[in-house]
A and B are shown apart, each in its own frame.
Chain A
Amino acid sequence: MELKTLTYIVVGATFALYILIALMSRAGSTGEFYIAGKSVPPLANGMATAADWMSAASFISMAGLIAFSGYDASVYLMGWTGGYVLLALFIAPYLRKFGKFTVPEFIGERYYSKTAKIVAVICLIFVSFTYVAGQMRGVGIVFSRFLEVDVSIGLLIGMGVVFIYAVLGGMKGITYTQVAQYCVLIFAYTVPAIFIAIQVTNNPIPQLAFGGQIEGSTSHLLTTLDELVTSLGFNQYTTGVKSKIDIFCITLALMVGTAGLPHVIVRFFTVPSVKDARTSAGYALLFIAILYTTAPAVGSMARYNLINTVQPGEVGTEAGNLKYIDRPDWMMRWEKTGLVEFQDKNNDGRIQFYNDQNPNYIEQALEYGWQGNELNVDRDIMVLANPEIAGLPNWVIALVAAGGIAAALSTAAGLLLVISSSISHDIIKGVVIPNISERSELMAGRIAAAIAIIIAGYLGFDPPGWVAEVVAFAFGLAAASLFPAIFLGIFSTRVNKYGAISGMIAGLVFTCGYIEYFKGLFLKFLGSPWGENIASNWLFGISPEGIGVIGMILNFCVALLVSHVTSRPPREVVDLVEKIRMP
């Protein structure tokens, strides 16, 4: 069957499934709308959390990122998994015991302050919208490539589906669709990975194939890859170029940021008990690990396949490079999208793919008669194009499209829900109209969700140029503001509202300021970025991606210091802390 028809069928079938689940799990009360009535079994919550967590970025971009930066991309692998340890040990069980609906609600009650709550809501909304824009964009890309519809129509369809199950079903609907989406996305990710692992190393398990020997040779994949890439002037695959302190800080900022992300934390409010919250975090990470340990294997094999395709013979010999007219079908198809580009700089009709930015390689390249790198491959297409590169059947390609959409939709839905609940519950009920009836609050939640979807869709349709950059911002912000406030709220009885608020603000201002200084996201009209974004300018050699760590330390210091010179928190707050510490 033709690929397009097949993709329509597979994607259509998954959409029908999501909507069916949504109709079967409509939310009837605010408890069901916000936290699925605390009735989600830990295993199901683990799957839902995994789908919620693994976004379009994890599914589509991560393996490509690893393929092109090798060891340096370890920051994402460790950072986006290690955060779950912090979540399971320091956050999830206690906030589950607290037993309310939202993260700002905890901060508001623990610090007996509406101001603290509002600061938390602002952080939450900023972090979540940043994220959701990226998801909607992912939906648009998948639609336009595989279903050959306009990005905007793809977006509208995606918004429509999320609308149905997020607005009707609330957390309850989202949870069970996320379970289904996890199954779709993990199947779609691992099947091509297994096929490719067999092709490259004759070992069906990607995690083992990663360290295996190349089919028909006695050399290991990673050793060969290191030799291949260095012979083309690239940096060695298994070692990095980033400084140690920077790798350390980015990893830590991503971990702490993960543990401070409201849409992840709130998933643990939905299980029946504290014990279940802990187990469920374990399941969640287990399900995430299946993809996260496959991704680096996929990345290395994709890089190997790509180089082998364009450089089938010895480096430097004329016949060593692929003739452009002989290029494979997948390259032609992706050229149309502009994500693969070829430019014959030395007019020899062959493709030269090497690192022309490496000063030590220039002479060598000239000797070969190469006049610059001629092939640009967008790293985002690695996962999507992988089945085509490996020559897999059409149904696998259709499956990958459905998987990419599932990853994007599940994350988008989770984010939209925390945005809408913080507006209807924390702001409308918590601050503006405290005596609102449950029915009106539920309605407010639904309206807020609908509005959030429209804004998210708009951001995805017309993304500010900096969507990719603000992701680092989102993590840094969560690490520097929300995590310390929640952590201290549980592990200290001494930290009071003055400490928490000044700490959050200090962390927030410092982190925003540093990122703005080097990247210039919001204050361009004032002339930002003010500093050139290079290592020698950075504070302690830490890049804007990792600066959340310093923001976090600052937050902790300010919070503790200010609390110690001001009055103790009232008795009932200390009682609250003692209560949430006990299961």
Chain B
Amino acid sequence: MKKKDQKEYWRRNVRLLFICMFFWFFFSYVTGIILVDQLNQIQVGGFKLGFWFAQQGSIYFFVALIFFYSWRMNKIEKEFDFNEKES
């Protein structure tokens, strides 16, 4: 692969990483810790929302986030026509 493509691929990976890190931080630290008292004012079913994020929601979002990243990376790699050799 050309040097230019390598740079571009890495740039797009890093951008995707920033996006993922934003959501990672938001759905755990922001909703489950920083704003937990405010969100606890909202009752969803039997849960206070902040508490739900801290003990349930954050975990679901983490799982979704890894699969999202993995799916996007596979797409990017296809675009750049990577044929990963199994080694």
Separation of A282 and B1 alpha carbons in the complex (Å): 28
Chain B min CB distance to A449 (Å):
26
Q: Which residues of A contact B66 (CB under 8 A)?
A: 84-85, 88-89, 278, 281-282, 285
Would you call B24 and A82 a contact (CB within 8 A)?
Answer: yes
Chain B residues 39 to 82 lying within 8 A of chain A, measured CB to CB, are 40, 44-48, 51-52, 54-56, 58-60, 62-63, 65-67, 69-70, 73-74, 77, 82
Q: Which residues of A contact B1 (CB under 8 A)?
A: 582
Would you call B17 and A583 a contact (CB within 8 A)?
Answer: no
Chain B residues 1 to 26 lying within 8 A of chain A, measured CB to CB, are 1, 6, 9-10, 13, 17, 20-21, 24
Of B17, B56, B87, most buried by chain A (CB within 10 Å of CB) is B56
Chain A min CB distance to B39 (Å):
11
Would you call A82 and B62 a contact (CB within 8 A)?
Answer: yes
Which of A1-9, A159-167, A205-213, A508-516 interfaces with chain B?
A205-213
Would you call B63 and A282 a contact (CB within 8 A)?
Answer: yes
Would you call A81 and B84 a contact (CB within 8 A)?
Answer: no
Separation of A211 and B82 alpha carbons in the complex (Å): 46
Q: Which residues of A contact B48 (CB under 8 A)?
A: 222, 238
Would you call B58 and A583 a contact (CB within 8 A)?
Answer: no
Separation of A38 and B33 alpha carbons in the complex (Å): 39
Would you call B9 and A90 a contact (CB within 8 A)?
Answer: no
Main secondary structure of the interface of A (DSSP, over half): helix
Interface size class of B (residues with CB under 8 A): 35 or more
Would you call B9 and A223 a contact (CB within 8 A)?
Answer: no
Would you call A275 and B32 a contact (CB within 8 A)?
Answer: no
Would you call A289 and B52 a contact (CB within 8 A)?
Answer: no
Q: Which residues of A contact B29 (CB under 8 A)?
A: 248, 251-252
Would you call B33 and A278 a contact (CB within 8 A)?
Answer: no
User: Which of A81, A99, A212 interacts with B58 by CB under 8 Å?
Assistant: A81
Q: Which residues of B contact A90 (CB under 8 A)?
A: 17
Separation of A66 and B48 alpha carbons in the complex (Å): 16
Which of A71-79, A306-314, A342-350, A370-378 interfaces with chain B?
A71-79
Would you call B77 and A583 a contact (CB within 8 A)?
Answer: yes
Q: Which residues of A contact B32 (CB under 8 A)?
A: 74, 78
- Smallest CB gap from B82: residue in A: A583
Q: Which residues of B contact A221 (CB under 8 A)?
A: 46
Would you call B62 and A85 a contact (CB within 8 A)?
Answer: yes
Q: Which residues of B contact A462 (CB under 8 A)?
A: none
Q: Which residues of B contact A296 (CB under 8 A)?
A: 55-56
Would you call B70 and A282 a contact (CB within 8 A)?
Answer: yes
With known contacts A82-B24, A248-B33, A286-B63, A275–B58 Cβ distance under 8 A: no
Would you call A275 and B84 a contact (CB within 8 A)?
Answer: yes
A273 interface residue (CB < 8 Å to B): yes
Q: Which residues of B contact A244 (CB under 8 A)?
A: 33-34
Would you call A273 and B84 a contact (CB within 8 A)?
Answer: yes
A537 interface residue (CB < 8 Å to B): no
Would you call A81 and B69 a contact (CB within 8 A)?
Answer: no
Separation of A275 and B20 alpha carbons in the complex (Å): 17
A581 interface residue (CB < 8 Å to B): yes
Q: Which residues of A contact B82 (CB under 8 A)?
A: 582-583
- Smallest CB gap from A224: residue in B: B46
User: Which of B28, B40, B44 interacts with A251 by CB under 8 Å?
Assistant: B28
Chain B min CB distance to A302 (Å):
14
Separation of A293 and B67 alpha carbons in the complex (Å): 18
With known contacts A77-B59, A82-B24, A211–B6 Cβ distance under 8 A: no
A279 interface residue (CB < 8 Å to B): yes
With known contacts A82-B28, A251-B28, A581-B10, A274–B84 Cβ distance under 8 A: yes
13 further contact pairs, Cβ within 8 A, besides A74-B33, A274-B84, A581-B13: A71-B36, A88-B69, A89-B21, A93-B73, A220-B46, A222-B46, A238-B40, A275-B77, A275-B84, A279-B70, A285-B62, A296-B55, A578-B6
Interface residues of B (CB under 8 A from A): 1, 6, 9-10, 13, 17, 20-21, 24, 28-29, 32-34, 36-37, 40, 44-48, 51-52, 54-56, 58-60, 62-63, 65-67, 69-70, 73-74, 77, 82, 84, 86-87
3 A-B pairs closest in CB distance: A220-B46, A211-B46, A74-B54
5 A–B contacts from the bound complex (CB under 8 Å): A74-B54, A85-B24, A211-B52, A275-B70, A275-B73
